[in-house]
Structure 1
Amino acid sequence: MSTQQKGYSAVGEFIFFFAGMESELDRLLRSLLNLRLLEGSIITSNIDISTKVYIVRSAVSMIPMNDKETLQSARNDSISVGKVAEKRNILAHNGFSPTEDGVEFFYFKAKGKVSLPEEKWTYDDFDQHIAEMIRLSRALSELNKSLPDHPAKKLAGNLMDIINHSDPGLRPGLAQLIALGTQNSINDGGSQ
């Protein structure tokens, strides 16, 4: 394989695994917010990955879990997804040139000041990034599987029912909605 083919292949493989990871993030977001596939797909296709990460982090923070380790792991993994997305932005939005030992990116940064940081990924760097995306895809999938009947889903449904069926002038504040939704989830047999 030529140097160019190897570099292009590495970039393509990164994008492939990134798309898989983002797909798992989308599935988790739909699940946490109790959205059907069509509605959830319309929403997730219209928001950037940073916003998806914030929504997932916010929704996960509302889940009353006894397992603090799982909750912390979910938070950490969603933060890691955001960091991988920063790497993807470098790869997707800048020119690059394959080299013998990796790919050099022509990265221009202009956020408050202008800089041209050197950004070169070795093929080992690509392998590490891809391994991290595979790990995150699995972690997001496992978190999603662990929440099939979680009270947070009932909470989301209860909140939407209240919002959709109440007189706009009489709608309770967010704190009251959350309290009511949580109470309804517990009364409906949701476990914590």
Structure 2
Amino acid sequence: MLTKSKLLLLDSDERAFLLVGAYIGHFALLEMGINNAIKTVLNLNTAASLIVTRNMTFDEKIKNLRALVQFFIYDKEKAKKFDKLAKEARNISELRNIIAHTPFYGSQTTDGVRFFVTKASSSLEIENLDWSIDEFIERIDHVRQTDNGLREIEKSMSLQRIAEALSERDIPPFGGLLALGATMLADQAESLLDPPLTLSKEDEE
């Protein structure tokens, strides 16, 4: 685990490489979690999951995951939560691309990393991007929290499939308390299943 006290013991350039590597490494775990979420929602085996996700860009994975969550997660509140997390993962990926493709060195201003960010659309722009140790740790923790939130999809889908299986079971051909119990189980299962969430145009942005 990254701690500020240990990082401050390092040379500034060594510290810069460690911080950048940690950020990119946690992003890789986030992407793996998104792959697993797609696998879980589609109920794929490992081989099929690797084939499906291997040639997708990260943005394509996010778009597909949002569509799958909309269609397959019937609990509206959970679907909204997962959709929000997926959009946040997309925002993280944009920042990760800057970090991964930008020259950097140990900052002389803070105790962290200075990135030499350039933009050249209609004119050349140089952006000052300087992250302290505290900011790096905070951003890495944000990546981790987003990853953990998306991994809850697996639990939600498992419970949903159990509920679906119970609701589809035939009521036993006998009366009394046993039949009543089976009916109650089916009713409880159906209460867990709401109609699919429909994204508004605002959510699709």
What TM-score results when the alignment is normalised by the length of structure 1? 0.73
Q: Equivalent residue for 1:79?
A: 87
Q: Secondary structure at the match of 2:158?
A: coil
Q: Give the stretch that moved more between structures: 138-147 or 19-28.
A: 138-147
Give the aligned partner of residue 174 of structure 1.
Answer: none
Residue aligned with 1:11, SS = helix
Distance 1:55 1:186, change over 3 A: farther
1:138-172 Cα shifts (integer Å, max 9, x gaps): 11111222112646xx9xxxxxxxxxxxxxxxxxx
2:40–2:153 CA contact under 8 A, matched in 1: no
Deviations 1:112-151 (A, max 9, x none): 6653222222212211111111111211111222112646
Q: Note the alpha carbon deviations across 1:170-190, whole angstroms, 9 max, x for none.
A: xxxxxxxxxxxxxxx998568
Q: CA deviation at 1:34?
A: 2.5
Give the structure 2 partner of residue 148 of structure 1.
Answer: 158
User: Which string of whole-angstrom CA distances, capped at 9 and with x for unpartnered residues, describes residues 84-113 of structure 1?
Assistant: 111110111111112152111122234566
Instruction: Tell me whether 1:70 sits opposite 2:101 in the alignment.
Output: no
2:28 counterpart of 1:55: no
Does the 8 Å contact 2:73/2:79 carry over to 1?
A: no
Contact 1:84 1:129 (8 Å CA) reproduced: no
Structure 1 residues 110, 51: closer, same or farther in 2, change over 3 A?
farther
* TM-fit CA distance, 1:83: 0.8
Secondary structure at the counterpart of residue 35 of structure 1? coil
Shift in alpha-carbon separation, 1:186–1:109, aligned structure 2, 3 A: farther
Contact 1:21-1:136 within 8 A present in 2 as well: yes
- Within the candidate set 105, 115, 119, 1:109 is matched to 119
| Residue 24 of structure 1 pairs with residue 33 of structure 2 | yes
Residue 44 of structure 2 corresponds to: 35
Aligned equivalent of 1:97, options 98, 105, 127: 105
User: Could you tell me whether the CA contact under 8 Å between 1:21 and 1:137 is conserved in 2?
Assistant: yes
Aligned residue for 1:148, secondary structure, equals helix
| 1:135 aligned onto 2:161 | no
User: Residue 86 of structure 1 aligns to which amino acid in structure 2?
Assistant: E
Residue 122, structure 1, aligned to residue 126, structure 2: no
Specify which of 27, 45, 51 is matched with residue 54 of structure 2: 45
Distance 1:141 1:25 in 2: 8
Q: Which runs of 5+ in 2 are unaligned?
A: 1-9, 170-188, 194-205
Aligned with 1:116: secondary structure? strand
AA at the equivalent of 2:144 = I
1:70, distance to aligned residue in structure 2 (A): 1.5
Query: Which runs of 5 or more structure 1 residues have no equivalent in the other structure?
Result: 155-184
> Is 1:3 matched up with 2:12?
yes
Please report the RMSD computed on the Cα atoms of aligned residues, expressed in angstroms: 2.5
Percent identity for Structure 1 against Structure 2: 25
